Amino acid sequence: MQSLVGVIAGIFVLILTVELLRRHALREKYAVLWLLISLIGVTFTVFPGVLEWVSSKLGFNLPSNLVFALAALVLLVVGMQLSLEVGRLEDRSQRLAEEIALLRHDLESLSADRSAGMHDVEDATDESPSEPTSLEQE
């Protein structure tokens, strides 16, 4: 019964990961980790002897200790990866905010120059002599 629950859980994570990839809700670099975790989970569930063999080779007294150590390692790696990604995104957001501020400044300067130029054109047309043109004289 326990192996059935483990297999179902592993297959569920596998299907969920593939579906999230298909919908572009999960990026490939994160999906690799989740696919690997689900495959390892299914392997250890279907073949518990593999878990016992690996745990004995790595010096763990109980296979469950290896599972907890692997879970802690996965959490550490995921936490570090997400921290790096957050740092990159913060830098990118800062850079984009600065670029937007510069573009707004340039746009406001251009708008001010244009409206000042329009006033100059209007002033020039108001100051033009009101002499009749050759057509008006005839």
pLDDT in tens, 68-91: 999 999 999 989 989 999 999 999
Average pLDDT over residues 54-66: 93
Does the global pTM surpass 0.85? no
Residues 27-49 pLDDT 10s:
888 888 888 888 888 888 888 89
Average pLDDT over residues 82-110: 95
DSSP letter for 25, please: S
pLDDT at 101 over 90: yes
Residues 112, 119: Cα–Cα separation, whole Å: 11
Phi then psi dihedrals of residue 60, to 5 deg: -90, 140
Residues 120, 127: Cα–Cα separation, whole Å: 11
Residues 82, 25: Cα–Cα separation, whole Å: 16
pLDDT at 129 over 80: no
Cβ atoms within 10 A of the Cβ of 40, count? 17
Q: Which two tokens stand for residue 57?
A: 């080779």
pLDDT at 119 over 70: no
- Supply the mean pLDDT for the chain: 85
